[in-house]
Chain A
Amino acid sequence: MANTSCEEPSRTPVISMRGITKTFPGVVANDHIHFDVYPSEIHALLGENGAGKSTLMKILYGFYRADAGQILLNGKPVSIRSPQDARRVNIGMVFQEFTLIPALSVAENIALFLPDLPAVLNHREIHRRILDLSEQYDLRVDPQAVVAELSIGERQKVEILKLLLSGARILILDEPTRVLAPHEVEALFRVLDNLRRDNYAIILITHKVKEVLACADRITVLRGGRVAGSLLRSEATEGRLVTLMFGQELTSPKADRRKVPDKGASPLLELRGVETRPAGTEMRLKGVDLQVYPGEIVGVAGVSGNGQKELSDVVLGMIPCVRGEKILFGEDMTHASVGVVRRRGVGFVPEDPLSMAVVPFMTVLENLALTRTWHYARAGGLKMDWRAVHRDAQDAMSRFGFSFSLYVPARTLSGGNLQRMIIVRELAYGSRLIIASYLTRGLDVRSTFAARQALLQARDEGAGVLLISEDLEELFALSDRLVVLYDGRIVGTFRPEETDIYTIGHLMTGSEVPHA
C-alpha cells in the first residue's frame, strides 16, 4: 500500500492517519490511506482533483468521519468528530473559500476564534498579540483594517494568523496558492518556512508540482483515492511526481475518430486575449486565445479551479469580458447578453446542472423549453405550444436513444437522466457551438457512454464543441484538438495523437514539459 520509505523510526509523527477509508455514494474517496505528518515539516499532499486529498484533510479536521481507520495524535488514538474537536487538539485548516467576515476588522475576526477571549474585549492586548506574531512570522497585516478592504493575499495572512493565535500547531492549507500572485507565493513559502522552523507541522494540499518541489520536505501523492507514493523531497523529481499523479498507463489515441477540421471554414468561436474580472476568491482569465471550428471537438484539460468555470461563463455571456474580444459565428459578441448568444445557437452543458441550468421544481418538459421559449411561444407569447416541445423532445430522445420521463419535476431525475435531459436540450436543438463542462462527472458507465456518443454525433453533424474536462482519458478519446488551461491561460495546444498524458499532466500542474 503505502510507500514506507520515508518513515522515520526515531521520531513520532505528530499526526498519523492509518487505514483511512471513506466512501460516498458511488465513489471511494479514500481507500486505506496511511498518512503521517512530523513536527517541523511541510508535508505536501499532491494529486489531481478527485484524488481524495480534500476528503482526507476534511476527515482530519472533523468535517467528515472516516468509515474505517484511525487517527493518532503523538502516538495516541484520538477521536475527531467535529471542527471543534480538531481545534481542541490544535489542528487548524485554511480553506479555499476563506471563512473571514468581511465587515469585521482583522483583529475582530481573529478574536472571534480565540479560546480565551475575556468578556470585555481588550483591543490593545489583542492588537499586540497579533502584531507580535505577525512580526515573528512575517505575516504583516494591520489589525485594525477591515477585512473587506484587504487583498486576497492579505486575507490569507489573516486566516493563518487566526489559526496561530487560536493555538493551532498543525496547519492544513487547501490549495493556498491558487489565488496568489507569484510574489505572494514566494512570501507564503517564506512564512511556511519560518513556521516549520518553530516546530509547526504544515500540510499543503495542492496540485502544483513546481511549488511542491520548492517548499515541501515530504510529498505524498494520491491518485484515485489511494496513496500512489510517498517520498522525501530529496527523492522527488517533476517527472516522478507527474507519473505518480497520473499513473503508468499511456492511452492510445483513437485515431479512427479523428477529424481534420476544414481549414477553409471560419471558426465558430474565437477568443482573443480575453480577460475577466475575478469575484472574490475565484480565478480570473488572464488573456485567453482559443478557436473552435465547425465539426471539431476542442478538449480543455486542466485541474478545476484554473479558470474553467470562467471560460464557459464568458463565452456564454454570463460574466463580462473586461479585455479582449469574443467573436461568435463571425460576429463580435464581446458584450452580447446571454439571450443573444443563445439565440445564435450556443448550447451549454454545465458541470452541476441542477443548480446551474435547471429549475428543480418545474417539470422536465418545462425545463426543456426554457432555452427556446421564443421558439415555442404562440399568439405573441400568450400561449406555449407544449405539443411541439413534446414532439421535439421525443425526436431528440429517439435520436440519442434516451428515455426519461417528461412530466415529473426535474429534481426527481437521477443524475444520469438529468444529464440526458440537458444533452437533449443543448445538443439536439440546432446548437452550432456546444460548451460541455465536465460532461460525465458523477455519471454511471451507461450514461457516460451515452453522453459521449451524443457529443460525437453532434460533432459529426457539423457542430463545434468545447469540451472542458478533468478526465484525461475522456479528453484523449474524444478531442480532435487538445488545449491546457492553467492559471487562467491556455498554455498549450496539441493534437492528441502528437502528445501524451505526461506532457498534458505537466502543463496542468504548472511544471515544465520534459524534453524527451
Chain B
Amino acid sequence: MSLLAILGVISSAIFSGTSLLYTTLGEVITERSGIVNLGLEGVMLVSASSGFAVTYLTGNPYLGVLTAMLVGGLMNMILGYLVVTRGGNQLASGLALMFFGFGLSALIGKPYVGAKIQGLPRILLPGLEHLPRLYTSLFQFDILIYLAIPTAFLVWWLLYRTRWGLGLRAVGESADTAFASGRNPWRLRYQALFVGGLLAGLGAAHLSIAYAMNWTEYMTGGRGFIAVALVIFSKWHPLRAIVGALLFSGAVAFQLLLHASGFKVSPFLLDTIPYFLTLLVLMIWGGTRRYAAPASLGRVYHGTE
C-alpha cells in the first residue's frame, strides 16, 4: 500500500465527491424547509446537459457553470409549483420531475454526445509545486473543487447565522409556528428550492464540465438519489455532508486500494456500506424520534384560516 495509492484514492474521492457534495448541500437546504426532492437526478441531468451545451457553444466553461446553476434553480421551481402551490404529494412530484429530467436532458444533450470541451482549468494545490509530477497530477483541482468546502461553510452560515436560515428551519420543523411568527412558509419554501436548485446545478456542472468533460445520457449515475441518502446520513447538517460525500464517493476508489493490497472485496458491496451505515445511524438515533429529521419534512402546509 504505497503512499501514491493512498493519495490516489483521496484524489479520486475528491474529484468524484465534489459534485455530490454540492448537490447534497442544496438538498440539505431544501429538506430543511420541509421538502424532499426525489427528482434531483432529473434536475442534475438537465443542468449537466445544458451547462455542457453552453460550454461547447460558447467555449466558455464559466458561462456553462452559470447556466447549469440557473437551470437547476428553475427545475426545482417546477417542484415548487407542484408541491407548494398545488399541494401535490412530494414524493410523486419529485419522481415525476425525475422522469421529466430524463427526457429533457436527453433532448438537450443529443447533439452533443461525444463532443469534447475544454472544461474548467485545473490549478495545482498551492505549495505542492516541488513534488514530482506523479504526485502533482493527483492534486490539480479546478476551482469548483476548491470552493466546495467553503460552500459547505457558507451553507452552514446561511442556515444557522442568518434570519432567513432561522425562518427556513422553522418552516421545516413547524410551518404553523413559523406562520405565527409572521413568516410566509410558502415563500420560504420556494426560496429554499431555488437555492437548493442552484447548488444542485453547480454539482451537475462539475460533473459534465470539470470532471468528465463530456455528456452521456444518465451520466449522473444515481447521484441524485445518493444525495438524498447523504442528506439523511449527515442528519441534515451541511458540515457533516463533507465527510459523507467523501465516504459515499470514496468507496470505489477504496476498493482499488484494498485490491492492490490483496483484499478482494467487490466494489459493489463496498458501495453499499454507506447506505447501511446510514440505516444504522437512523435506527440508533431515530429518523422520526429525537428530532433528527425536520419535523414537517414531506408534509404539505395548508395554512390557517
Contacts and interface: CB of A to CB of B under 8 A. Distances in A.
Interface of A: 83-84, 99-104, 108, 111-113, 117-121, 123, 146, 148
B170 A118 contact: no
B65 to A, nearest CB: 27
Nearest to B289: A148
Interface of B: 160-164, 166-167, 169-170, 173-174, 176-178, 180-182, 290-291, 294-295
A124 to B, nearest CB: 12
Given A99-B177, A103-B294, A112-B177, A119 B170 contact: no
Given A84-B182, A103-B295, A148-B291, A121 B166 contact: yes
B163 A119 contact: yes
B164 A119 contact: yes
B170 A101 contact: yes
Contacts of B295: 101-103
A101 B174 contact: yes
B40 to A, nearest CB: 24
Smallest CB-CB A-B distances: 6 pairs? A103-B291, A101-B173, A112-B181, A119-B163, A113-B181, A148-B291
Contact of A112 (B161, B164, B178): B178
A155 to B, nearest CB: 14
A103 B173 contact: yes
Contact of A108 (B166, B176, B290, B291): B166
B161 A104 contact: no
Given A101-B177, A104-B170, A112-B170, A121 B291 contact: no
Nearest to A101: B173
A378 to B, nearest CB: 37
A280 B162 CA distance: 30
A121 B177 CA distance: 19
A498 B181 CA distance: 53
14 contacts: A84-B182, A100-B177, A102-B295, A103-B169, A103-B173, A103-B291, A112-B170, A113-B181, A119-B162, A119-B163, A121-B162, A121-B163, A146-B291, A148-B291
Nearest to B165: A121
Contacts of A113: 181
B163 A120 contact: yes
B166 A111 contact: yes
Nearest to A103: B291
Contacts of B173: 101-104
Contacts of A119: 162-164
B180 A99 contact: yes
Contacts of B164: 119
Nearest to A108: B166
A156 B163 CA distance: 24
Contacts of A84: 182
A146 B173 CA distance: 13
A113 B182 CA distance: 8
Which residue, A118, A121, A123, has most C-beta atoms of chain B within 10 A?
A121
Contacts of B181: 112-113
B163 A118 contact: yes
A121 to B, nearest CB: 5
Given A146-B291, A148-B291, 5 more contacts: A103-B173, A111-B166, A112-B167, A113-B181, A120-B163
A103 B164 CA distance: 17
Contacts of B290: 148
Contacts of A117: 163, 166
A308 B173 CA distance: 30
Nearest to B183: A112
A117 B163 CA distance: 7
Contacts of B177: 99-101, 112
A147 to B, nearest CB: 9
B180 A104 contact: no
A422 B120 CA distance: 71
A516 to B, nearest CB: 49
A359 B177 CA distance: 29
Contacts of B291: 102-103, 146, 148
Nearest to A100: B177
A25 B164 CA distance: 42
Contacts of B167: 112
A438 B166 CA distance: 42
A118 B163 CA distance: 7
A103 B180 CA distance: 17
Nearest to A84: B182
